[in-house]
Each structure stands twice: as C-alpha cells, then as structure tokens.
Structure 1
Amino acid sequence: MTSRGSTNESPRPPGRPVDATLGPAIIEAVLDELAEGGYARLTTASVAKRAGVSTATLYRRWPTKRDLLLAAAQQVADSETHDIDTGSLDGDLRELLTRKQLPMAGKAGATLIALLAESRHDPELAELINTGVITPMHAHLTTMLNRAITRGEAPPTATPTTATRLLGGLVLAQAAFTPQANGPLATPNINTDVALLRTAFTTQPE
C-alpha cells in the first residue's frame, strides 16, 4: 500500500549527484588512458587520477571499467563527421578522408583500436560501434553517392557498400600504422585513397 502523494519515480542513488561539468574531463581522461595503455591497463583509479576527481565521484556515474569504455565509445560515435558537400565527388571524398584519417594519428586512433578489440567480446559495445560509427559512415557515403549520380559522376546502379568497407579499412590502417612513424604506411596518400574510393563508388556491380 502506498501513501498519498507518493510517485512512481525511482529513488535517487545515495550521495551527491555527479557534477555535469566533470563529465567531459572524465571521458577525456578515459580516451587518454586508452591511447597510452589500451583497455587492458585501463583502471578506474587511473582515470580518476588523470581527471582530478575521486574514485567515489567516478563510481557514482560509471561504476565499472566497462561503463567507462561504453562512454568512450559514445564519445567516438558522437564525433562522427557531419555532412560534406564540396560540389564534386573527388572533393567530397578528399574532405571526408582528411576529417577521418588525420585524427587517427592521435589518441582517436588508439582509442578506436582499443574499442574494436574489446568489441569482439562485448556485444553491446559492438552494437554501439555499429550504430554510432559504421551506420553514420555508410549514410554519409550514400548521400555523397546520390549527389554524384545526380551530377553524372557515378552510374545510377552504383552502391556505397564497397566504399564503406574500404573507407573503414583506410581509417583503421591509419590508426594501426601511425605508431610506426618512420614506416612506409605511417602517412596516408590522400590522392591515392581518393582514387580508390572513387573506383569503389563508380564501378558497376556485377
């Protein structure tokens, strides 16, 4: 039996709520820790220390290491490239590659590698990456392709599926090979990559 004036709202967890302004600093600390040591060495204590907060503050919002990883994945997903329209297919592809590949030289690349590795064992994380990263990337390429078809730069039967897979591979290659700064694969060749994506876009499906 419930008393008068009661509501169906869930009781607030004990303790003070997490200061909303601390969220970005904590997620940034997660990304830094992932970039430096990968998921295996990520700990809530190290994140709290880097963010300058107590572990109690951290636990109130992200009680487990996995929760921190999901939050980092959401950050990567939220940073997905917005619509690009330069007026030509080559221009669109060049701008897209610049926005996606070059950041992979920093902690974004290390974070992506860590997230993808862990997603093989975590269906929820895999789904978050799929819906937050892969699906938007496919949608961006679909929009580019439709414009290219309208301009006569691609055949009406062209599809973005192969280009999406290729773009994902190019982005991952940049993330994986960047640490070998003096290696032949460390620096992307934008012109070559644009040509590859254009071919993937404009080749008639068999």
Structure 2
Amino acid sequence: MTESKSRRRGAELERAILDAAWAELSELGYARFTVEGVAARAGTSKPVLYRRWKGRAELALAAWSRRVPVSDEVLDTGALRTDMIALFTHLSRRAGAMMTEIVAGVMADAFRHPEVAELLRERLARPFSLTETVTAVVNRAVERGELPPVELPHRAARAPLDLVRNEYITCGGGPLDEAVIAELVDDVYLPLLRGLGSACTD
C-alpha cells in the first residue's frame, strides 16, 4: 500500500473504494465480485470496507447507486399526460439500469440471506421519492383543473413503478419504447387517476 493511499480518509477513501468496486463489477461480474478483490484494488484492507458495508451485496449496490444517481426532480411539462409520459420514461430508464447482472446477482443472494433481501427491498422501494413526485404531479393537475380533487393511496402513487417493472420483467429487453409507455399512461394510469377523482366527488 502506498503512503498516499494509506493517508486517505473519509469521502476520498469512500470514493476510491466505490470506484474500485465498480471496476471489479465491470471486469469480473457479480458472480466473481469479492470484498477482498475490491480492497486490493483500492489499496486498503477488508476491515476498512466492512466498517462501511456489511458485505459484497451492500457494497455492490453502493457502487451501482453512485453510478446511477437518484434524481429528486419533480417533472412539470404543463399537462398531466405529458408529465406522466416523462415520469414513466424516467422510470423505464432507471429500471433498465437496475435490471443488470449486478442487481440480478444481489437478488440471488437475497434468496439465501435475509439481510440482503431486506437491503434490496429498501433500495427498490425508494426510487427518487416516487410517491412524493407522483403526488406533486397529481396536485398540479388538480390545480390546473385537469382532475377533480384526488386522494392518492400509497399503492396508487407507486403504481407507475410497478407497471414499468412488470413490463420490463415480463417482456425483457431495454427501456420501454414510446408506444408502450403511452399505453401504460393512457390505458392504465390516467383512467386510474380519473377513477380516484370521481370516487372523491361521489
């Protein structure tokens, strides 16, 4: 270990480790990904890594998250339908990035280790504050008069993600094309919102 590496601390050391983890994942894949390999590549020790991450699954997801950052941007195109098209498109791109060999490997670990399953559920359950984003989009539509007042249940607020994930898992391939996204928005989600709005006015 070089002297410069031994002096790294805090955020600098963490960046070096996550860069090393990403390099290991890219070159070797998740199946051959090890904490030992990351430590050697980063020029540090296994105990240093284990103080920050419990195991290889958590380390792999941390490296992935750094490369595919979560956006908190609330979309505003001026109309409900185009807001939803933009939202579904964003979710599709994230799902395409998420359903990689890396995350597939973590999912395989989840079947054997409950703590990994809990970690994966936590990561998948909070894509860029989805429920808050959907609620903001719906509230703007209500203010514009596109919808009557809507009480948005949690499952309805997270339905865009569930729809995109289901489509991706059942159909495979890359991010969903524009026609599929339009169908999900026009044939499924907008009717759901209008039905919830009607229920609130009854």
The answer as to 2:161 corresponding to 1:167 is yes
The answer as to 2:127 corresponding to 1:133 is yes
**What SS is found at the alignment partner of 1:82?**
coil
Residue number in structure 1 paired with 2:48: 60
Q: Choose the corresponding residue for 2:194, options 184, 187, 202.
A: 202
Q: 1:31 to 1:87 in 2, by over 3 A?
A: farther
Instruction: Give the Cα–Cα distance (whole angstroms) in 2 for the partners of residues 144 and 117 of structure 1.
Output: 35
Residue number in structure 2 paired with 1:85: 76
**What SS is found at the alignment partner of 2:158?**
helix
Q: 1:171 to 1:127 in 2, by over 3 A?
A: closer
**What SS is found at the alignment partner of 1:153?**
coil
RMSD (CA atoms): 3.9
Residue number in structure 1 paired with 2:99: 109
**CA deviation after TM superposition for structure 1 residue 17, in Å:** 4.5
Q: 1:19 to 1:67 in 2, by over 3 A?
A: same
TM-score, with structure 2 as normaliser: 0.64
- On the 8 A contact 2:131/2:158 being kept in 1, the answer is yes
- On the 8 A contact 1:81/1:99 being kept in 2, the answer is no
- On the 8 A contact 2:35/2:49 being kept in 1, the answer is no
Q: 1:118 to 1:105 in 2, by over 3 A?
A: same
Higher helix share: 2
Identical aligned residues as a percent: 23
1:147-166 pair list within 5 angstroms = 147-159=140-152, 161-166=155-160
Q: 1:78 to 1:152 in 2, by over 3 A?
A: same
Instruction: Give the Cα–Cα distance (whole angstroms) in 1 for the partners of residues 103 and 170 of structure 2.
Output: 9
Task: Output the amino acid matched with 2:184.
Answer: D
Instruction: Give the Cα–Cα distance (whole angstroms) in 2 for the partners of residues 27 and 190 of structure 1.
Output: 34
- On the 8 A contact 1:113/1:176 being kept in 2, the answer is no
Instruction: Give the Cα–Cα distance (whole angstroms) in 2 for the partners of residues 37 and 31 of structure 1.
Output: 10
Q: 1:105 to 1:133 in 2, by over 3 A?
A: closer
Count of aligned residue pairs for this structure pair: 181
- On the 8 A contact 2:135/2:157 being kept in 1, the answer is no
**What SS is found at the alignment partner of 2:149?**
coil
Instruction: Give the Cα–Cα distance (whole angstroms) in 1 for the partners of residues 157 and 192 of structure 2.
Output: 5
